[in-house]
Amino acid sequence: MNSKQQDELTQWLSNKNYNFYVTTTFKNKLSDETINRKMEHFSNHYLIEELFWVREYTSDRKPHIHMVIKTNKIIKSYKKLPKLLKD
């Protein structure tokens, strides 16, 4: 990603209103396909209105995910959504 793209992404993200910023590391090594499937399932949950996520890997190749999430019910989301990310 070049610096213009980073600036555009930063501007786009700064105009959004998110309820949660989440960082999680999966305990197992997962394929890209599995990660994408898990994140698609998570993003389609009825409580989530909007989601932006990026993936990186730990030194031992475990997926490490950063997310910003906008939900329609903050308290209910706080209780329910973490369970969906368990691997």
Give the mean model confidence (pLDDT) for residues 48-68: 93
The answer to whether 84 and 45 have CB atoms below 8 angstroms apart is: yes
Instruction: Give the pLDDT mean for 62-70.
Output: 93
**Domain containing residue 29: CATH number:** 3.30.70
Give the residue from 34, 48, 43, 39 showing the smallest Cα distance to 78.
48
pTM of the full structure: 0.79
Domain that holds residue 34: 17-84
The answer to the question of residue 28 being in a domain is: yes
In a domain, 66, yes or no: yes
Confidence of residue 87 (pLDDT cuts 50, 70, 90): low
**Taking residues 79-83, what's their average pLDDT?**
82
Q: How many domains does the chain have?
A: 1
- Structural domain contains residue 9: no
Query: Domain for residue 10, yes or no?
Result: no
**pLDDT tens digits for range 1-51:** 789 988 888 888 888 889 999 999 989 999 999 999 999 998 999 999 999
Residue recorded with tokens 């329910």: 80
